[in-house]
Amino acid sequence: MDITVFGIGYVGLVQAAVLADVGHNVMCVDVDAEKVQRLNQGIIPIYEPGLEDLVKENHAAGLIVFTTDASAAVRHGQIIISAVGTPPGEDGSADLKYVISVAETIAKEMEEHKIIVSKSTVPVGTCDMVRKRVGDILKMRGREDLTFDVVSNPEFLKEGSAVADCMRPDRIIIGTQSEQSEQVMRELYAPFNRNHEKIIVMDIRSAEFTKYAANCMLATKISFINEMASLAEQLGVDIEEVRKGIGSDPRIGYHFIYPGAGYGGSCFPKDVRALIKTAEGVQFDAKMLKAVEERNNQQKFVLFDKAYKYFNGDLKGKRFALWGLAFKPNTDDMREAPARILMESLWREGASVSAYDPEAMQECQAIYGQRNDLMLCGTKEAALRDADALMIVTEWKNFKAPSFDTIRQSLKNPVIFDGRNLYNPKVVARHGLEYYSIGRMAA
């Protein structure tokens, strides 16, 4: 099938590559000419396991092409997937300017029936808005003879495992009101729907809402366990034992109940806020979502608070070794990363940071530039040298079994603040290190 993908971001690029890989003819279009040029040279703008090979192979095979030519792109696909960003507006609601602009481009350029697929995370009612806008433009063009469908098909991929998630989705949500477009969408996803039925067809508004409800549910799980962790510390309880204890109940499950330094990334914080805004729009007070967000904002300060207390409020001139900058492992993404709040809080107190992250150092440099209180180090060991303490913010695999002796010998004070509960407190203590983690008593 001929597919067009508008927006070569995380979602767009990964989805396009995966669709090309099963044999669809995919044309990707973006307004960013530099990005398009680089992709045509085989330079992938993001780090995502498996993505580079997938893009290069299918590009070489001619199954995926990159262009800035929107009119050619509209001509190309019988299905046009819109995967442009929906950044938060000033008030936290999703800004739909790119979504609308894609709809307008399609409406201006189309010459035959198109299925417009909304893949971006968009508030309930957006597809209706897109339908209206396209219809209005076709009317202005005097082309009411042209027909089109709008389908909501939210994406659930996770950064760090985006390619694998896209190749083996848990479910494929298709929100549509037309049987014809349902059939075409089924054909599009048939290669991913082989072993058991993953396609769930529903009405458009429910499909749009499903994406928000899923992310808000997951964010709620995290904020819940983080709240339990803070309480556990006050009560002398070990949250890691509790986590296993409750996770064994299949109704709760082991996933997404890891306490930590707060959730970040491009989705959870933005989507929770956007749903709160959507609720406000219908005079609904989303009390629980507000609490989820508030807890998460607080959680991002937890490591800082522990260090502040440990050093009796005197952080001036201290240097902290930071392991992990990305909002989670296997990505270079630092959007809303807890490490940012932590570093900025430390800097405000006159402390400095020597940081190491396997992938996000360039990103960190791009965000903060050169500054005296930020040293980016080539290895995790280099970051430790003569630092006053170690802080762990991201659970990269390579942090899981460090040499505690090296840590103790490198640090001025033998203390670790661990925002991801990577170690057994008893083991750390045995190596002569003080250990502060999340939801467990200091050891």
Residues annotated catalytic, as ranges: 267
Q: How far is the CB of 114 from ligand UDX (least distance, A)?
A: 25
Pick from 6, 98, 148, 258 the residue near ligand UDX by CB under 6 A.
258
Burial group, residue 226, by CB count within 10 angstroms (0-12, 13-18, 19+): buried
301 binds ligand UDX (CB under 6 A): no
**CB-wise, 33 or 200, nearer to ligand UDX?**
200
User: Which candidate, 45, 43, 35, places its Cα nearest to that of 67?
Assistant: 35
124 binds ligand UDX (CB under 6 A): no
Residues in binding contact with ligand UDX, number by CB under 6 A = 19
* Contact (Cβ atoms closer than 8 angstroms) between residue 304 and residue 342: yes
Pick from 63, 107, 218, 377 the residue near ligand UDX by CB under 6 A.
218
Binding marks (x or -) toward ligand UDX, 222..241, rule CB under 6 A? x-------------------
Binding to ligand UDX in span 265-294, by CB under 6 A: 265, 267-268
Q: How far is the CB of 122 from ligand UDX (least distance, A)?
A: 13
Q: How far is the CB of 319 from ligand UDX (least distance, A)?
A: 25
**CB-wise, 148 or 327, nearer to ligand UDX?**
327
263 binds ligand UDX (CB under 6 A): yes
256 binds ligand UDX (CB under 6 A): yes
157 binds ligand UDX (CB under 6 A): yes
Binding to ligand UDX in span 318-347, by CB under 6 A: 327-328
User: Which candidate, 173, 258, 257, 184, places its Cα nearest to that of 213?
Assistant: 173
**CB-wise, 89 or 247, nearer to ligand UDX?**
247
**CB-wise, 178 or 256, nearer to ligand UDX?**
256
151 binds ligand UDX (CB under 6 A): no
* Contact (Cβ atoms closer than 8 angstroms) between residue 294 and residue 227: no
Pick from 260, 324, 358, 419 the residue near ligand UDX by CB under 6 A.
260
30 binds ligand UDX (CB under 6 A): no
Helix (H), strand (E), coil (C) string for the chain: CEEEEECCCHHHHHHHHHHHHCCCEEEEECCCHHHHHHHHCCCCCCCCCCHHHHHHHHHHCCCEEEECCHHHHHHHCCEEEECCCCCECCCCCECCHHHHHHHHHHHHHCCCCEEEEECCCCCCCHHHHHHHHHHHHHHHCCCCCCCEEEEECCCCCCCCCHHHHHHCCCCEEEECCCHHHHHHHHHHHHHHCCCCCCEEEECHHHHHHHHHHHHHHHHHHHHHHHHHHHHHHHHCCCHHHHHHHHHCCCCCCCCCCCCCCCCCCCCHHHHHHHHHHHHHHCCCCCHHHHHHHHHHHHHCCHHHHHHHHHCCCCCCCCEEEEECCCCCCCCCCCCCCHHHHHHHHHHHCCCEEEEECCCCHHHHHHHHCCCCCEEECCCHHHHHCCCCEEEECCCCHHHCCCCHHHHHHHCCCCEEEECCCCCCHHHHHHCCCEEECCCCCCC
173 binds ligand UDX (CB under 6 A): no
**CB-wise, 258 or 311, nearer to ligand UDX?**
258
264 binds ligand UDX (CB under 6 A): yes
**CB-wise, 107 or 218, nearer to ligand UDX?**
218
Q: How far is the CB of 260 from ligand UDX (least distance, A)?
A: 4
Which range touches ligand UDX (CB under 6 A), out of 51-59, 101-109, 200-208, 259-267? 259-267
Which residue in the block uniquely carries the two structure tokens 């399609």?
106
Cβ-proximal residue to ligand UDX, closest one: 267
Pick from 159, 240, 293, 332 the residue near ligand UDX by CB under 6 A.
159
Which range touches ligand UDX (CB under 6 A), out of 36-44, 47-55, 251-259, 310-318? 251-259
158 binds ligand UDX (CB under 6 A): yes
Pick from 67, 120, 153, 215 the residue near ligand UDX by CB under 6 A.
215
Residues that bind ligand UDX (CB under 6 A): 155-159, 215, 218, 222, 256-258, 260, 263-265, 267-268, 327-328
